[in-house]
Each structure stands twice: as C-alpha cells, then as structure tokens.
Amino acid sequence: MSEEYVLQLEHIRKEYPGVVALKDVTLELRKGEILALIGENGAGKSTLIKCCSGAVIPTSGKIIVNGKEYDSMTPQLAAENGIAIIYQEFNNVKELSAAENLFLGRPIKKGIVVDKKAMEREAAKAFEQLRIKINPKTLMKDLTVGYQQMVEIAKAIQQDAKILIMDEPSAPLTSAEVESMFRVVERLRKEGISIIYISHRLEEIYRLSDRILVLRDGEYVKTLQTSESHVQELIKLMVGRELTETYPPRGDCIDKSQVVLEVKDLTGNGDENISLKVHKGEILGLGGLVGAGRTELAEMIFGAAKRQSGQMFINGKEVNPKTPREAIDTGIALVPEDRKRHGAMLGISIKDNINMPIYEKNSTLSVINSKKEVATAEKYRENMAIKTPSLHQLMKNLSGGNQQKVILGRWLAANSELIIFDEPTRGIDVGAKYEIYKIMNDLVEKEGKAILMISSEMEELMGMSDRIVVLSEGKMTGELAKEEFNQEVIMEFASEARTSIEEEKTV
C-alpha cells in the first residue's frame, strides 16, 4: 500500500437487482486533502461513500484503510478506523440537547449514571475547538439546520475521526451557514483531517477542494487537480455532453391583464402583511435569507399553515384554503423544499408517487386508470431523466436527487394554475437543473401557468424570475423588476429588517 493515502477504494462494484450502482470504481484519499466527489443524480456518489461506512456492502472490490485491507466495512470497523460520515439527513434526536446528541449511543457515565455535566463540558470543548457558538444545553430542535450540522461535525471530531465524509452538506444551509461550515472544514483540513466532499454546487467544489473525482453512471471517469480544471470540463465529464447555457431562453409570455394569484395583507405563520400578485405566464421570484418567512408564506398560501388575516384570490375569485387538499382543489400546487420529508412515499413505486395527487382525487374510484398513470409517469421520467430501470421501482431505491425529480413530477402532474416551487433545484445535478428550468419555462410559456419560485441561489433567482419580491423577517422589504435585478440590492433588501448578524448570536 502507498504511504500517501489514508483511504483507498479499489475496483468497487455494487449491484442491486436490475441496477449496477458502481462499476469498478477507484478512489484514493490523501492525508489532509479535500477530495470532491461529483456526478449526476444517480451516478453512485452516496453508494460509494456508504461502502466506507459499512452501510453498503460492495459486491466486489477492496477497501484499504490505514494499511489494512477489507472486503467490506462495518459501522464499528469504520469508527475504529476513524471514518465518520455526515449523511444528507442527519440522525439526530430533536428532543435531546446538543451535548446529548454529541454523545448519542456512547454517553459518558459516572458509575452507571449518565453524567450530563461531563457531557456538556466535553461538548463545550468540542464546539470551542471548532470555534462554533452553541450552548451544549440547547435542544436540537431549537437549533437551525446549520447548527445541527455543526453538532454532527463536532461529534465526528469528538470521536477522533481522521476521515470525514460529507454527503451534500451545504444543501440545507443558508449562505451564511455555508460560509461557517466552509471555515470549519478548512480548519479541519489544516489539522490533517482528510475530507471527501459531495456537492452539486460547482462553485463550492472550486472554493474548497484540492482534487475532484468524477463519477458517471456508476463508473469512475477521472480525478482532476482542482486548480487545473475548468467548469465546462467538469460539466462535460459529469454529463457526458457539452452544456453551454445555464438558463434556457423564455419568450415574453406574461399576461398582465390576468392575475392568477393575489394575496392581500396576508398575516400569520410568522409573516406580516404580505401583498403580492402573480400574473398568468409569469415567474415571480421570492428572495431572502433562510428564515425570512418565504416557506412560511408558501405554506399559508397552500393551506398548510393557518393565516390570521388577509385575503387570497385565484383568478380574481376569493379563496380560503384551510388544508392542502382544498388548496389543490382551488388550483394551487406546492413543490416543497424538503421533498424527502414532505411527500416522498418511500415504500411505494415511482409511478404511484408521481400520480399521488391525482390518486387522491380519484380515491372514490376503485379502479384507477392505470394506463394513464403509466403514461403520466413515463412522461416525467423522460422529461426529467429520472434514472431508474423501471417505474415500478420503489422510491427508497432511488438516489436522493432522483427522488426529488419524482416529487417534482407529481406536482406538475397535478395540473394546477399556480405552482409554488420552494427551492426547485436543490440537490439536483447540473444537467437535470437545466431540464427543470425548461419545464418551468414551458409551464408559463406554453401552458399559461403562474409560478411563485422561492430560491436561495442568487443566480437562479435572477436567471429565472420575471420579477423578484424580497422578504426579510416575515416582512416584504423590496420588489425588483427584471431590469433592476442586482445581487447587492437583493442582499440589502434581504437583510433590511434584520437586527443582528446571525453568526454573532450564541444559540
């Protein structure tokens, strides 16, 4: 074995019934480097790193850690070898404190009693070491996702991890949180910890990584030196073809005479006096920092959260949806931010997931029009390039990004007048992003729908919206017409109502 590498995966193959998730993949991780792992949805990234933790047993291949060769890992072996993984959905217990989560499964004890004080002391030390301000006593549910993730990182460090693997760590974070996470990750690299970093955001890859490993369709494509590679080259290696434009062009299709959605002085769910209009054929972008109240607004419009006052109109007619079911019936659809938690039914097939809202509509019918369902599902599989051997495949067997595409397909199939997209391309690869933008364009341009799009990606917000409304702390702070789009101005509006900078607060 080479002295140089702390971890080597050799000729890894993983087969599932009908799918070869990994074919002869090789990975070498050096001490103290950040190796980015990139590839389209379903390329095999998560499967590969799960081989390192013992969550997946490779069909064949070798795993070499610290000079020792293994056919497969177990969670215990991985821990003994200093391998820690931060998965996309962390397994924390919301009702326990940060300290208790840090020592979950291996509490410090005094005799037979759990020593809470000692755990809090040790947790404080671990947070201190990472220079993050978390009170060890704070309950997990009271921490933002960003801080919850920090607890996960602290846990890995506390367990003396030498190899830290992160699966799309930035996906649920706000831009300020992403910055803090980067600082922590960079500090860990300085301390000699080796990191595998999975992300769909190429700017992050350039900012953080030393080398980049590209997977495509379960196969190893290439490992590049980050400083010597170019974005276009990476995209081509991932997608297998050239992608020149980021946002597909859209014709002028706004019909100002038709207001599809109007909300007047909407108050509730943390928002105050929100008034806005979305016209037929228009994409209205909703900008702001995470926590600005955008998802909360979407939930109110969709009847998933109660509003205290204000009015809502669909095509000029006052509506008052009190449940999502009623909202769907009035022609409103919501593609939620956390698609996995809100809506993906993991135990049923792709086809049934796509047909879900339609399903509910027909729930009184005992015979479901299966042919039509298959056709609908097939259409979205094709449009969004959902990677699966069969539409009858269970949701849980799809890669993270492909599950998102299925949920997106479901809401598009619901055939609504107004579609609210909450972070539509989060966790979705570059090629599929473009396809989703094309679908959004078609919805407004060809089908005359109205779209309300929440996006924390500034480029996407400006690239796709016809108009942008900015929220901050539950209030509307600005509105920009297309010709006024400007990143600094949007950021200013986004932080207008804020009293203190998030990072300075100790939570």
What residues make contact with ligand ATP under the rule CB under 6 A?
16, 19, 21, 39, 41-47, 387-388, 397-402
41 interacts with, out of ligand ATP, Mg ion, none, CB within 5 to 8 A per kind:
ligand ATP
Nearer to Mg ion, 387 or 410 (CB): 387
Minimum distance of ligand ATP from residue 428's CB (angstroms)? 8
Minimum distance of Mg ion from residue 301's CB (angstroms)? 31
Minimum distance of ligand ATP from residue 353's CB (angstroms)? 14
Task: Name the one residue in this structure whose structure tokens are 């779209």.
Answer: 451
- CA separation, residue 355 to residues 327, 393, 409, 411, 445 (Å): 17, 14, 9, 9, 24
Give 479's strand partners.
Answer: 469
Minimum distance of Mg ion from residue 55's CB (angstroms)? 12
Q: What is the DSSP string of 385-403?
A: T---S-TTSBGGGS-HHHH
Which strand (E) or helix (H) includes residue 467? Answer: strand 467-472
Residues that bind Mg ion (CB under 5 A): 46, 400
Nearer to Mg ion, 85 or 451 (CB): 85
Minimum distance of ligand ATP from residue 411's CB (angstroms)? 18
Please report, as a single letter, which amino acid is at residue 261.
L
Minimum distance of Mg ion from residue 48's CB (angstroms)? 9
441 interacts with, out of ligand ATP, Mg ion, none, CB within 5 to 8 A per kind:
none
- CA separation, residue 39 to residues 6, 216, 217, 311, 433 (Å): 23, 6, 8, 45, 13
Q: Which residue is nearest to Mg ion (CB)?
A: 46
Nearer to Mg ion, 146 or 400 (CB): 400
303 interacts with, out of Mg ion, ligand ATP, none, CB within 5 to 8 A per kind:
none
43 interacts with, out of Mg ion, ligand ATP, none, CB within 5 to 8 A per kind:
ligand ATP
19 interacts with, out of ligand ATP, Mg ion, none, CB within 5 to 8 A per kind:
ligand ATP
Q: What is the DSSP string of 22-50?
A: EEEEEEEEETT-EEEEE-STTSSHHHHHH
Nearer to Mg ion, 255 or 338 (CB): 338
Minimum distance of Mg ion from residue 215's CB (angstroms)? 11
Hey, what are 193's tokens?
A: 């910890």
Q: Determine the 3-state secondary structure of 384 from DSSP.
A: helix
281 interacts with, out of ligand ATP, Mg ion, none, CB within 5 to 8 A per kind:
none
CA 477 from centroid of its chain's CA atoms: 26
229 interacts with, out of Mg ion, ligand ATP, none, CB within 5 to 8 A per kind:
none
Nearer to Mg ion, 46 or 397 (CB): 46
- CA separation, residue 412 to residues 62, 314, 409, 415 (Å): 43, 18, 5, 6
Are the beta carbons of 175 and 95 closer than 8 angstroms?
A: no
Longest dimension (CA), the chain: 74
Nearer to ligand ATP, 388 or 472 (CB): 388
Question: How far is Cα 325 from Cα 330, in angstroms, rounded to an integer?
Answer: 9
47 interacts with, out of Mg ion, ligand ATP, none, CB within 5 to 8 A per kind:
ligand ATP
Nearer to ligand ATP, 72 or 362 (CB): 72
Nearer to ligand ATP, 51 or 292 (CB): 51
Q: Which residue is nearest to ligand ATP (CB)?
A: 401
Question: How far is Cα 429 from Cα 215, in angstroms, rounded to an integer?
Answer: 12
Please report, as a single letter, which amino acid is at residue 403.
Q
397 interacts with, out of Mg ion, ligand ATP, none, CB within 5 to 8 A per kind:
ligand ATP
What is the end-to-end Cα distance of the chain in Å, rounded? Answer: 46
Are the beta carbons of 420 and 283 closer than 8 angstroms?
A: no
Minimum distance of Mg ion from residue 167's CB (angstroms)? 6
Minimum distance of Mg ion from residue 438's CB (angstroms)? 23
- Of 90, 61, 58, nearest to 74 by C-alpha is 58
φ and ψ of 53, to 5 deg: -100, -10
- Of 79, 91, 174, 186, nearest to 130 by C-alpha is 186
Nearer to Mg ion, 136 or 424 (CB): 424
Nearer to Mg ion, 46 or 404 (CB): 46
Minimum distance of Mg ion from residue 40's CB (angstroms)? 10
Q: Determine the 3-state secondary structure of 1 from DSSP.
A: coil
Minimum distance of Mg ion from residue 22's CB (angstroms)? 12
376 interacts with, out of Mg ion, ligand ATP, none, CB within 5 to 8 A per kind:
none
336 interacts with, out of ligand ATP, Mg ion, none, CB within 5 to 8 A per kind:
none
Nearer to Mg ion, 41 or 349 (CB): 41
Burial class (CB in 10 A: 0-12, 13-18, 19+), 389: exposed
